[in-house]
Chains A and B, each alone.
Chain A
Amino acid sequence: MIELNRMTFGYASGAPLIAGLSARFGDGRIRAVLGPNGSGKSTLLRLCARQLTPASGTLRVGGQDAAGYDAKAFARMLAYLPQSRPVPMITVRALVAHGRFPHLGMTRRLSARDEDAVAHALAVTGLCSVAGRDLRTLSGGQRQKAYLAMLIAQDAPHLLLDEPTTYLDIGHQLELCAILRALRDEGRCVVIVMHDLAQALSLADDVLLLHEGQPLYDGPTDGVVPSGAIEQAFGVRPVLRESVQFDTILR
């Protein structure tokens, strides 16, 4: 459970990006954070991940004040995948093993338990066959799965992802969604900033729709279209038809 209470954040030179926002993201749920560009989606995610310090307000993670965790203890509670990051010259396996960093002691050596967590993460994401490959030689979709595997190895009950499916082809998008659903079914709290409305509506259990740093809609996914909040935020009207469903083909 992630709880935000009256969070405010802004840079010195402008109006606050997030003003007095309160929200609650439950365990065993996928929460899509939606909103037009500049509505504060990524800022909200960074605040939840303690990457930014709020001007005011409190953050509680797993029922405790987030400020009470030290850096590694917090990383064991909450994993965060930013939208962009450099691609280091390391193997997939080494990247996934870095997910264990908050679990390691002073010697920084992987224990048998850590090795198992890495192997599990590689297996779940279907990356075993490329575990020894240099990260930079992978396609964008596989690379994204490698980062997701790193998050899985981190084994935190809360997962925050910033646009994980953007720029991926449809096959990889659906694969990623299936993995995220499996993580939710393990009882984890999954929060995803998403760009693709249709995908968000089919993946998420709950939606938080932001507009200029304020929540326009906060509740179950079913209710967001009838509420009219999408029209208000994006200026488009969603039309519901008998939906076309894609599904992952098991290969």
Chain B
Amino acid sequence: MRISQTSSSANEPGRTRLLAAVLALLLIAAALFSLCVGASGTSLLTGLADLLRGVSSPAARIVRYIRLPRVLAAMLAGAALAASGVLIQGVLGNPLAGPNVIGVNAGAGFCTLLCACLLPSAAKLLPAAAFSGALLAALIILLLADRMGASRITVVLAGVAISSIFSAGSDLITTLDPDATLGMSAFMIGGFADVSAARLRTAAVYILPALAAALLLAGDLDVLALGDEVAASLGLRVRRTRVLLLAVASVLAGAAVSFAGLLGFVGLIVPHAVRRAVGGEHRQLLPLSMLGGALFTLLCDTAARTLFAPYEVPVGILLSLVGGPFFLFLLLRSRKGARI
């Protein structure tokens, strides 16, 4: 017996596939465009053409060593942060949640400051410090929450407590050693101005497997969204699944923070926008959010480095200036009942 599908507003596989195809095409187009524009202005298509032909012209080098890492960085960070946002919001059943809830931002900020204070000359270590800080904070919160039964509310409360401890640590360092904060504003705002291929490679080693793991776990996340009791009665091991999903989310956010700084806003607005288009099923929401996050971050970064070239606006500022009003627009539209 087959059931005829009535027309539906959301969760339709065809709609998801179409949207995925559109986003992927836009992403490719945006990446190519972004490779062709930049402050140097001269190269345009020639660099790309030289690169493809294997000619080592200055234009080709600009594309290969400056623009390509930057384009990849924006896409990688955008996809990772959006995926992390989807996971955390799904696990905690809270649309306001983000990486900051599991202490990623506070932990990364603290360890970056600590590193800048203790080893002022070792700027190279800052990304590693940010990553380990993010993971450390998330790990403490997960262990605490797991001991207390890993309910949604204990995760959030443990996150608030640990974040405030790390923030206090950051404030203490700032007070004792104001010089440590000199290079910090770029990190706090977030951006890709000094991303390098090597730094990106390290982050990608963590982000790509974590994205794959997230996609594999999306089905379990859908079951978790039915509530703890229903999920358990369907045979899902609720506590283990929740901790695992949060661990994947913290690796994603932590690795992104390590080279992009605190760009957390992407993880809030991209999942929201995608949810409006395809509904709340994570098997559809997650891959589309990855594409959407990559596209949105890449577009903002391209604008950030070309609008006022040769000057550059940190992308964190642009993301919030563009994303904030867009987010409010979505909220207003849903209030009017345009879409639930």
Decide if A245 is an interface residue (CB 8 Å cutoff). no
Segment 136-171 of A: residues with Cβ below 8 Å from B: 136-137, 154
Decide if A76 is an interface residue (CB 8 Å cutoff). yes
Decide if A16 is an interface residue (CB 8 Å cutoff). no
- Structural contact, A134 and B233, CB atoms closer than 8 A: no
- Structural contact, B340 and A136, CB atoms closer than 8 A: yes
Pick out which of these stretches binds chain A: B177-185, B197-205, B220-228, B307-315: B220-228
Decide if A133 is an interface residue (CB 8 Å cutoff). yes
Question: Inside 8 A of A207's CB, which chain B residues have their CB?
Answer: none
Complex Cα gap A137–B229 (Å) = 23
- Structural contact, A128 and B4, CB atoms closer than 8 A: yes
Closest residue of chain B to A97, judged by CB? B222
Complex Cα gap A131–B5 (Å) = 7
Question: Inside 8 A of B235's CB, which chain A residues have their CB?
Answer: 71-76, 101-102
- Structural contact, A89 and B3, CB atoms closer than 8 A: no
Complex Cα gap A119–B2 (Å) = 6
- Structural contact, B3 and A123, CB atoms closer than 8 A: yes
* With contact pairs A88-B225, A98-B226, A134-B279 given, residues A51 and B232 touching in the complex (Cβ less than 8 Å): yes
Question: Inside 8 A of A130's CB, which chain B residues have their CB?
Answer: 6
- Min CB distance B262 to A, Å, is 29
Decide if A116 is an interface residue (CB 8 Å cutoff). yes
**A-contact bits for B85-103, CB 8 A (1 contact / 0 none):** 0000000010000000000
- Structural contact, A134 and B9, CB atoms closer than 8 A: yes
- Structural contact, B3 and A91, CB atoms closer than 8 A: no
Segment 73-94 of A: residues with Cβ below 8 Å from B: 73-76, 78-82, 85-86, 88-91, 93-94
Decide if A99 is an interface residue (CB 8 Å cutoff). yes
Complex Cα gap A130–B226 (Å) = 19
Question: Inside 8 A of A95's CB, which chain B residues have their CB?
Answer: 226
- Structural contact, A102 and B234, CB atoms closer than 8 A: yes
Question: Inside 8 A of B234's CB, which chain A residues have their CB?
Answer: 75, 98-99, 101-102, 154
Number of B positions contacting A (CB below 8 A): 33
* With contact pairs A49-B233, A98-B222 given, residues A123 and B280 touching in the complex (Cβ less than 8 Å): no
Complex Cα gap A128–B8 (Å) = 13
Closest residue of chain B to A46, judged by CB? B229
Decide if A60 is an interface residue (CB 8 Å cutoff). no
Complex Cα gap A101–B279 (Å) = 20
Complex Cα gap A49–B227 (Å) = 15
- Min CB distance B212 to A, Å, is 14
Decide if B121 is an interface residue (CB 8 Å cutoff). no
* With contact pairs A91-B11, A116-B1, A123-B1 given, residues A51 and B275 touching in the complex (Cβ less than 8 Å): no
- Min CB distance B127 to A, Å, is 35
Closest residue of chain A to B217, judged by CB? A108
Decide if B12 is an interface residue (CB 8 Å cutoff). yes
Closest residue of chain B to A103, judged by CB? B235
* With contact pairs A71-B236, A102-B235, A131-B3 given, residues A89 and B280 touching in the complex (Cβ less than 8 Å): yes
Complex Cα gap A152–B210 (Å) = 35
Question: Which of B5, B220, B229 is most buried by chain A, counting CB atoms within 10 A of its CB?
Answer: B229
* With contact pairs A82-B229, A90-B280 given, residues A134 and B10 touching in the complex (Cβ less than 8 Å): yes
Query: Across chains A and B, which 5 residue pairs bring their CB atoms closest together, nearest first?
Result: A132-B8, A89-B280, A75-B235, A72-B235, A108-B219
Residues in chain B within 8 A of chain A (CB atoms): 1-12, 93, 219-220, 222-223, 225-227, 229-230, 232-237, 275, 279-281, 340
Excluding A98-B223, A102-B234, 5 further A-B contacts by CB distance (< 8 Å) are A93-B11, A119-B2, A120-B1, A122-B3, A132-B6
Residues in chain A within 8 A of chain B (CB atoms): 49-51, 71-76, 78-82, 85-86, 88-91, 93-95, 98-99, 101-102, 104, 108, 116, 119-120, 122-123, 128-134, 136-137, 154
Sample of 20 A–B contacts (CB below 8 Å): A74-B235, A75-B233, A79-B233, A82-B229, A88-B225, A88-B226, A88-B280, A89-B10, A89-B275, A90-B225, A98-B222, A101-B234, A108-B219, A123-B3, A131-B3, A132-B7, A134-B9, A134-B10, A134-B279, A136-B340
